[in-house]
Amino acid sequence: MELDEVLPDARPGGATSPTNGSLPASPYAPTDPPAGGAASAGPSPGSPPAAVATATAIAAGAMAGVASRLGLTTAFDAAHLNVTTPTGGLFPALPANVVGAALAGAASAVAAAAAVPRAVVAGIVTGGAGTLTTFASWQVGVTVAMVGPGEGGAGGWAPRVATAVTALMVGVALPLASYFAGHDAGRGVLALVRRRRRRRWLRRACKVSHSRGSLAEEDPSGAGGGGAAEPVRGGGGAVDVDGPLRRGTDTATVGVGGLAVAGVVADVHRQTAASILFAPIGALLRWQLASRLNPCVPSFPLGTFVANLCATAAAAALTAVTTTGTSSLSAGWVLRAAVAGGGGGLSTVSSWVGELIAAESRQAAWVYGTATVGVAQAASLLIYGILWRVRQ
């Protein structure tokens, strides 16, 4: 199991590619240990304890991510803020995709320059941001705008195609911009933390210097000082956030898992609770696909491509079954939960955007981005269109 495939470059200052400036490598790019210092604390990347810790962090992040996505989708829908519409250019998953891409950019920036545990980075980037964003719901929304009933179906094919093209363009542009913004914000926060640490180190160094000067005045030979004072550590190197973040991950795992189980037991909202429980399945499957298939073609992340394609096809089929015609399925809420949780966890926009930015060249980025959107949309149109016509 290659855990390095799910983490950003951990070298101080962040790795750069020839075409993306100071942005870090893809969230699935291989990493090297920090130069000039020890790697993150914990077991070696390929050891079973490290794999279990990473899988646990991804599962916890996935549950938090899908819960946040459902909350953002509800907050911006027509019944609340009235920003997004199911068949409009501003599709329901857009706010979550924007926020998730920003989170992935910020986490990648911090992880590229600080000693963050591997499991924590995987939990945030692969689990949290990867599940907060959803490629499948975006593509199925575009399909529904073109061939499905509702607002998008009024006025003939021209308005439908225009709406679909708008959704595609907005769905790419805004997450890209938010990834850049999140990356810059992460670097800014990290700079502030280091500046505060440096000031504290300078204050401590001044106190030590003043104390040693007083001892030298009382005992010029220096014998009374008890030997050389121990140098004060801190000021340079990577920010050590291992302990607090590890405890935070454990707390998040227990807390999110407890909330999910409590929701199921109390049956407060069974579809939401089921979506949260489905999310780790999709996220862990995506992690394994990316770990094993992405290294096969360096210029084309095959694992993420396969995950997004499979999730889009499954979401198109389940959406057509549950939303068209007169459904006789008494457990339709389970299928909808599988689409929102499992399909949303399997697909990702944040990692896809990160891979576009970290591509070897602009040509490779265009090929990868166009192929992912084109093939996924073709599969969604075919599957949803056939099932929608059959069930009318």
Q: What's the pLDDT at 255?
A: 52
Q: What's the pLDDT at 144?
A: 86
Q: What values do phi and psi take at 359, rounded to 5? A: -60, 155
- The amino acid occupying position 308 is N
Q: What's the pLDDT at 252?
A: 52
β-pair partners for 240: 115
Q: What's the pLDDT at 138?
A: 93
pTM of the model: 0.73
* 298 in Cβ contact with 360 (< 8 Å): yes
> Model confidence over 293-345: pLDDT tens digits?
999 988 899 999 999 999 999 999 888 887 655 444 555 778 888 888 888 89
Give the span between the Cα atoms of 356 and 341, in whole angstroms: 25
* 15 in Cβ contact with 29 (< 8 Å): yes
Q: What's the pLDDT at 214?
A: 57
Per-residue pLDDT of the chain (392 residues), as tens digits, is 333 433 333 333 344 444 444 444 444 343 333 333 333 444 445 556 788 889 999 999 999 999 999 999 999 988 889 899 887 889 999 999 999 999 999 998 888 877 788 888 899 999 999 999 999 999 998 988 887 654 434 457 788 888 899 999 999 999 999 999 999 998 888 888 888 888 888 878 787 776 665 545 555 544 444 444 444 444 444 444 445 545 555 555 555 555 444 444 444 477 888 889 999 999 999 999 999 999 998 889 999 999 999 999 999 988 888 765 544 455 577 888 888 888 889 999 999 999 999 998 899 999 999 999 999 999 999 998 888 777 66
For tokens 């121990």, what's the residue? Answer: 230
Name the maximum alpha-carbon separation found in the chain: 97
In the numeric block, which tokens belong to residue 86? 């199911």
Q: What's the pLDDT at 320?
A: 83
> Model confidence over 118-157: pLDDT tens digits?
888 899 999 999 999 999 999 998 988 887 654 434 457 7
